[in-house]
């Protein structure tokens, strides 16, 4: 059977027109948002989306709105040709690949752009999160100034060290939802906080979209798949296995009655630091509200972010005893 050739769309209006035509024919649409450099984890999201919808749209867009100027936007890996080959290999295929060039470029705002260029209204200097922290969108003087925030859920975990990240994620996902108009959207649980934030945003803003969380895909040795793994040296990759191993150890200990979170976290931190990692955070939080807990009494998730070399990795494991 020949591989399915997806339709490639780059324009917002064309994407919206396609979606509305398909929905007028009674077809449901599933969206899998990605930043490209696809791996088996992304492909598993597409397979999950097939369970919930007739047609599949995969977006490929590296979103500058979720990167601060000091982060790795310029080095984020990209391989559109390789991505297309992988998408053709997915059972059931993909119907549309939506890969816009710049979702913060507004062609009818030429006057505003000129003002910004002349320094009369420099959004880059006065924007950000209220504390002077800006994203790459604002740093480049974009006229974009509307942001979506899920205020409480974005504060902990990754939000502590990446203060513009979830504002950028919520905003770009909102834009994609308005452009693609899907019935279902699938997000990986590896970015656990992101998944919960999108769920809450959809609930609070009454999007008529089902949000599906798909389980983490791991290599055979346990490392959670990530596009950033390509930047790990062989030695760093081996050391990074300490993250998943410490999470598995904590889950096993909790099942055996060790429910004091401080002890579980200390053990994981020790394991990772002894392997050469640098901890960003190690937190055990309630699965729904992401509040830190001191003792496991219900469903929790153990979330870890750690640096190995110049690569920041995240992972988590749900614990329900």
Q: 312: part of which helix (H) or strand (E)?
A: strand 311-319
Parallel/antiparallel/unpaired status of strands 184-188 and 29-34:
parallel
> Are 181 and 188 a contacting pair, CB within 8 Å?
no
Parallel/antiparallel/unpaired status of strands 300-308 and 311-319:
antiparallel
> Are 250 and 264 a contacting pair, CB within 8 Å?
yes
Any residues with CB less than 8 A from the CB of 256 and at least 6 apart, and which? none
Q: 279: part of which helix (H) or strand (E)?
A: strand 278-286
220-225 contacts at long range (C-beta below 8 A, 24 or more positions apart): 222/248, 224/41, 224/190, 224/313, 224/314, 224/315, 225/39, 225/40, 225/41, 225/190
| Separation of CA 238 from chain center | 24
Q: Output the six-digit token pair for 66.
A: 């979720």
Residue 271, Cβ density class (10 Å: 0-12 exposed, 13-18 middle, ≥19 buried) = middle
Q: Could you say which DSSP state residue 151 is in?
A: T
- List, by residue number, the catalytic residues: 42
């Amino acid at each position: 059977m020949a591989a399915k050739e997806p339709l490639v769309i780059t324009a917002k209006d064309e994407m919206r027109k396609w979606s509305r035509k398909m929905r007028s024919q009674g077809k449901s649409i599933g969206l899998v948002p990605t930043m490209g450099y696809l791996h088996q984890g992304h492909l598993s999201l597409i397979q999950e989306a097939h369970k919930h919808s007739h047609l599949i749209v995969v977006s490929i867009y590296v979103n500058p709105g979720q990167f601060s100027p000091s982060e790795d936007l310029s080095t984020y890996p990209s391989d559109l040709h390789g991505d297309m080959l992988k998408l053709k290999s997915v059972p059931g295929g993909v119907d549309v690949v939506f890969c816009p060039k710049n979702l913060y470029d507004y062609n009818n705002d030429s006057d505003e752009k000129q003002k910004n260029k002349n320094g009369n209204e420099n959004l880059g200097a006065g924007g950000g999160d209220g504390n002077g922290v800006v994203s790459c969108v604002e740093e480049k003087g974009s006229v974009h100034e509307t942001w979506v925030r899920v205020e409480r859920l974005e504060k902990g975990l990754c939000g502590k060290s990446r203060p513009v990240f979830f504002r950028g994620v919520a905003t770009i996902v909102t834009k994609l939802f308005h452009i693609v108009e899907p019935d279902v959207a699938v997000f990986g649980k590896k970015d656990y906080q992101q998944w919960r934030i999108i769920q809450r945003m959809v609930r609070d803003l009454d999007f008529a979209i089902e949000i599906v969380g798909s389980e983490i895909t791991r290599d055979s040795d346990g490392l959670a798949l990530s596009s950033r793994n390509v930047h790990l040296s062989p030695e760093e990759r081996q050391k990074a296995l300490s993250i998943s191993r410490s999470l598995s150890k904590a889950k096993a200990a909790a099942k055996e009655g060790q429910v004091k979170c401080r002890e579980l976290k200390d053990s994981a931190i020790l394991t990772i630091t002894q392997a050469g990692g640098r901890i960003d955070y190690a937190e055990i939080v309630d699965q729904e509200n992401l509040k830190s807990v001191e003792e496991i009494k219900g469903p929790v998730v153990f979330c870890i972010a750690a640096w190995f070399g110049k690569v920041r990795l995240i992972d988590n494991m749900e614990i329900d005893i």
